[in-house]
């Protein structure tokens, strides 16, 4: 994320621009540079060296010292009480879930922009910023839900990743779907994914939880064998707990026996 500097304001101002954005020709990374290696620019005006050091330490703790570009200036300006502490508290690892991001704090006004994977994250990032300050600060949530989750959903296209009955053994049809998913996920370097296994409600819940976890693990293992790093794939087994259809019918139970793919 990036913090932009403006002149003419009475209060301290800091802006952070995200790792996916390079604002100058000097800092523009090669197109192939992974998002995890792109610079994070922090610039603005703060009242003293101690505040500057505090903000840099927080940001470097999130992104790493090698990625943070320091453009902060120190000037004799007014700040709200505990301003530096509040801003430093806003610089948490949750910001790494924002791509092409920009966070601007102008006195007690906070604006965040960029893309996140889903609506829940859009709300969570803004909530975290609000909780890091106090009631006198206002947060403008300019985040947008990006298209990466939509791409996964469109690739899966409401199809079911099939397994042999009662087991975690993929069918050829299930493997063919995973081949398509791997190809799409490989186009999203640095993105983490969550593979969630689900079952119908036939049988004991504990057994279904175990089976759903085993199937999610089988999916990750298959994708790893196809070249997708397993450390970018988390798994979860929810068994019968989150059905999408009525378990009273064969068609409904078939829909509930599914694998779900989520961008994290």
Portion of the chain with pLDDT greater than 70, in percent: 86
Q: Over the range 48-68, which residues count as b (16 or more CB within 10 Å of their CB) and which as e? A: eeebbebbbebbbebbeeebb
What is the model's pLDDT at position 57?
95
The answer to whether residues 26 and 116 belong to one domain is yes
- From 145, 168, 195, the end of a domain falls on 145
The answer to whether residues 136 and 17 belong to one domain is yes
pTM of the model: 0.55
Residue 97 is part of which domain span?
2-145
CB-count exposure of residue 250 (10 Å: 0-12, 13-18, 19+): exposed
Domain count, the chain: 2
- Tokens for 44, please give them: 């603005």
The answer to whether residues 6 and 70 belong to one domain is yes
Residue 105, H or E segment: strand 99-106
The answer to whether residues 178 and 217 belong to one domain is yes
What is the model's pLDDT at position 24?
24
The answer to whether residues 91 and 196 belong to one domain is no
The answer to whether residues 113 and 174 belong to one domain is no
Over residues 148-207, the pLDDT tens digits come to 888 888 899 989 999 988 899 999 999 999 999 999 999 888 788 999 999 999 999 999
What is the model's pLDDT at position 151?
85
Give the residue ranges of the chain where pLDDT is below 70: 1-14, 16-37
CATH number at residue 208: 3.30.1330.60
Distance of alpha carbon 96 from alpha carbon 1, whole angstroms: 8
The answer to whether residues 229 and 117 belong to one domain is no
């Amino acid at each position: 994320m990036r913090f932009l500097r403006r002149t003419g304001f009475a209060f301290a101002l800091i802006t952070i621009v995200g790792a996916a954005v390079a604002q100058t020709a000097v800092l523009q990374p090669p197109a192939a540079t992974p998002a995890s290696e792109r610079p994070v620019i922090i610039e603005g005006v703060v009242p003293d060296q101690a505040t500057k050091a505090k903000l840099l330490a927080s940001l470097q703790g999130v992104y790493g010292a090698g990625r943070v570009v320091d453009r902060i200036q120190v000037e004799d300006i007014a700040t709200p009480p505990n301003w530096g502490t509040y801003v430093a508290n806003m610089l948490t690892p949750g910001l790494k879930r924002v791509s092409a991001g920009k966070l601007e704090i102008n006195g007690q006004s906070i604006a965040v922009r960029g893309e996140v994977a889903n609506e829940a994250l859009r709300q969570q990032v803004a909530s975290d910023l609000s909780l890091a300050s106090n009631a006198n600060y206002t947060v403008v949530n300019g985040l947008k839900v990006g298209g990466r989750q939509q791409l996964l959903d469109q690739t899966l296209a409401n199809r079911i990743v099939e397994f042999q009955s009662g087991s975690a053994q993929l069918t050829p049809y299930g493997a063919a779907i995973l081949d398509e998913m791997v190809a799409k996920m490989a186009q999203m370097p640095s993105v983490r994914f969550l593979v969630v296994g689900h079952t119908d409600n036939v049988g004991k819940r504990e057994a279904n939880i175990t089976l759903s976890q085993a199937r999610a693990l089988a999916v990750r293992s298959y994708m790893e064998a196809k070249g997708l790093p397993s450390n970018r794939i988390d798994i979860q087994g929810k068994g019968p707990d989150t059905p999408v259809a009525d378990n009273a019918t064969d068609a409904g139970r078939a829909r509930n026996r599914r694998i779900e793919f989520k961008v994290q």
